[in-house]
Structures are given as structure tokens and as C-alpha cells.
Amino acid sequence: MVSIKMFDVAPYEIDAIENWAAEHQVKVDYEREPLTLDNIESVKGYDGLSLSHNGPFDHEIYRILESYGIKQIAQRSAGFDMYDLEAAKAHHLIITTVPSYSPSSIAEYAVTGALYFVRQFPLIKQRMTKHNFVWDAPLISRPVKDLTVAIIGVGRIGSISAQLFSNFGCKVVGYDIEPKPELDDVVEFKATLEEAIAEADIVSLHVPGNKDTYHMFDEATFKQLKEGVIFVNCARGMVVETQGLLDALNSGKVSGAVIDTYENEAQYFRRDFSNQTVEDDTLLELIEREDVLASPHIAFFTHEAVKNLAEGGLNSTMEVLETGDAQSRVN
């Protein structure tokens, strides 16, 4: 019987994993912990490996996995920036990902987060908490249908976000490096990022994190926005220079920000720090500000996504074991 070892398995994934194992007649063992040099020996004897790794990855691990006869690492996320693809390849390890597991979940989160600020929910909550029931100018909202939304990166998630905003009656403009003529009914495409953001009331980022998108939104980009924009980053932390965002919030350029990903998140997100000190002052500022809705990279987190991620990692593992290759291979 084929055997697969999984690491980084959270309790909420176990039902999906056990159902998959029974259905496919594969032995699957799993651990809560990440794979490290301390526990790597437990991989010995298994055919396949699936991780949901977060943060840096020790190169020595690639070498040891190869020596155990492991041929692949099936990462259970869309992102793969935690791996050195060439180093893995040098040790004959195929890295696969789950490129899409519930794009609508992330799009829904981005849209819901933007509307939270459009309809002044933070201020309403603050006023109600103070028993101040007055109707006055700061509480007046713009109707969602009158807003222009810029979608930056109109791929799987961006296109669903565009459709959802369009369903509210918004004008949707987009910027993407690839032409997307099939979306012309929903999105008015602009040739440059500057043109796309120039008239936007809401800017929502859906580009991948890579060297071209690194700090795509920095001090200079924020200066080009309209006054009072609502800004959403449910893409990758590295796309936004956080100090530039904080300056834009302080100056009023950005009136509200939904920050689901943060450039220095690896050390904190997915961990419980309620009894420890968070030493990152920038993260603390994001969390504490009324005009920021910060969350721990959780936009995807629905039952559908959890099931698709667990099954996606196991299916890719089997694909490599059975064919020597995989559609979701990234190296």
C-alpha cells in the first residue's frame, strides 16, 4: 500500500484527510508539527510527503529527503515562496502546490472587507458602544453602486471579485499583465497600474507575490490614489510597503484598509501569541488602528477551501508517485 506522510496538519483538516485515505486505499499518517531537521527521520519509509509549510525552509532537508528516496513535496497552499525551487530540483524533488482551492472564498472576503469600510461599520460600532445614537455627517455612506473599483491582477480571485463588485452595480476597472478579453463585459481594462487606480474609490489587490510585484504599492503608488480610497490586500504581504500604507492612512489618502496579508507575517500568522509579546511594532499598529481591518491570512478559510487543500496535496502526491510529474508542479 502506498504511504504518505503529512506535516502541519491542523485538527480541522483531519476529516478530509481520513475520508480521502479510505477512498483511495492509501496509508496516510499526519503530524501537527512542521517538518524540521529534528523530526525528519519520521519520513523514512514513506513514499510521499505533503506539507503546509510557512516561513523559511532549511536546505539540508532537501538533501535528507532525497537520501530517503522521497521524490516530491506537495505543498498545501497556492504560494511556494518558502521553497528554494532550484535547491529542491538539485535533489530531484518535485514541488507541487494547490494553485486554486476556493477562489470565491478569497474574493468574498475582499469584497466584504471593502464594504465594511464603505458602510462605516467601524464608526457605527464605536458610536453604538458609546451609546451615541446621533445621525451626523461622518456616518453618511456612499452607495456601493456608485463606486469605482480597481482590481489589480484579474486572475482566478480577481475576476470573481470583479464580478461581485459589478453585481453591486460598481464600475470595475482592472489592470493585468495578461490580456483578458473574456472579462471585457465586467472589467474595463487599463494599460497601466496608474490609470487603473487614478479614479478608484476601492483598490483590491489580487496579483501574485514575486519580484515584479514586490512593493508594487509603495509611497509613490499610494500618492497616486484618490483621496479617501479603501484599500484591500488579500493577495501577498510583499506587494505592499507597509510604512507607505501607514503614511497613506495617516494622510487620509487611504480611509480604510483590509490587510489579510502582511510582509513580515511568517513569524506570527497561524500562531497563538495571546500569552506572548508581539514585538513587531508595525504589525501592532495595523492591529490597533480603527481604520485597518487586519487578519492573519485567513481570507481563504472556509470549509470548501480546507477540504480542497487537503485533497489537493494528497492528489498531487499520488500524481507524482504514479506518473513522475504533476500538473501543479512549480519547479
Q: Which of 70, 98, 118, 158 binds ligand NAD (CB under 6 A)?
A: 158
DSSP letter for each residue of 236-295: -GGGB-HHHHHHHHHHTSEEEEEES--TT-TTTTTS--TTS----HHHHHHHH-TTEEE-
In eight-state DSSP terms, residue 133 is -
Q: Between residues 62 and 300, which has the closer beta carbon with respect to ligand NAD? A: 300
Size of the site for ligand NAD (CB under 6 A): 29
Q: Which span (29-37, 50-58, 88-96, 172-180) binds ligand NAD, by CB under 6 A?
A: 172-180
Residue 294 binds ligand NAD, judged by CB under 6 A: no
* 24 is known as an active-site residue: no
Q: Retrieve residue 285's grid coordinates.
A: 499598529
Is 195 a known active-site residue? no
Q: Does 103 bind ligand NAD (CB under 6 A)?
A: yes
Whose grid coordinates read 456608485? 146
Exactly one of 23, 86, 182, 212 binds ligand NAD (CB under 6 A); that residue is 212
Query: How far apart (Å, rounded) are the C-alpha atoms in residues 196 and 54?
Result: 32
Instruction: Put the strands of the sheet holding 229-233 in their side by side order.
Output: 188-189, 171-175, 148-152, 202-205, 229-233, 254-259, 292-294
Q: Which three cell numbers stand for residue 33?
A: 508539527
Q: Is residue 230 within 8 Å of 117, Cβ to Cβ? A: yes
Please count the other Cβ atoms lying within 10 Å of the Cβ belonging to residue 136: 8
Rounded Cα distance between 271 and 54, Å, is: 11
Q: CA-based angle 77:83:84, to the nearest 5?
A: 150
Give the per-residue contact string, 31-70, with ligand NAD (x = CB under 6 A; - = no). ----------------------------------------
For residue 156, the minimal CB distance to ligand NAD (Å) is 4
Q: Which residue is catalytic, options 206, 297, 311, 319?
A: 297
Q: Does 312 bind ligand NAD (CB under 6 A)?
A: no
- Residue 207 as a binder of ligand NAD (CB under 6 A): the answer is yes
| Cβ closest to ligand NAD, residue 4 vs residue 258 | 258
Alpha helical stretches, state H, 53-102: 59-67, 85-90
Examine the residue annotation and report whether 265 is marked as an active-site residue of this protein: yes
- Taking CB under 6 A as the rule, which mask of x and - marks residues 223-262 in contact with ligand NAD? -----------xxx-----------------------xx-
**153 is an interface residue for ligand NAD by CB under 6 A:** yes
- Based on the shown chain and the rule CB under 6 A, indicate whether residue 173 belongs to the binding site for ligand NAD: no
> How far, in whole angstroms, is CA 207 from its chain's centroid?
10
- Residue choice 30, 175, 217, 269 for contact with ligand NAD (CB under 6 A): 175
Walk across the sheet containing 3-6 and list its strands. 27-30, 3-6, 48-51, 72-75, 94-96
Of the residues 119, 155, 198, 285, which one makes contact with ligand NAD according to CB under 6 A = 155
Catalytic-labelled residue, pool 236, 241, 263, 311: 236
Closer by beta carbon to ligand NAD, 46 or else 175: 175
What is the number of alpha carbons within 13 Å of residue 238 lying toward its C-beta? Answer: 11
Q: Which of 35, 28, 30 is nearest to 54 (CA)?
A: 35
Candidates 42-50, 182-190, 208-216, 314-322: pick the segment binding ligand NAD (CB under 6 A).
208-216
Q: What residues make contact with ligand NAD under the rule CB under 6 A?
A: 78-79, 100, 103, 106, 153-158, 175-178, 206-209, 212-213, 234-236, 260-261, 297, 299-300
Just list the catalytic residues: 236, 265, 297
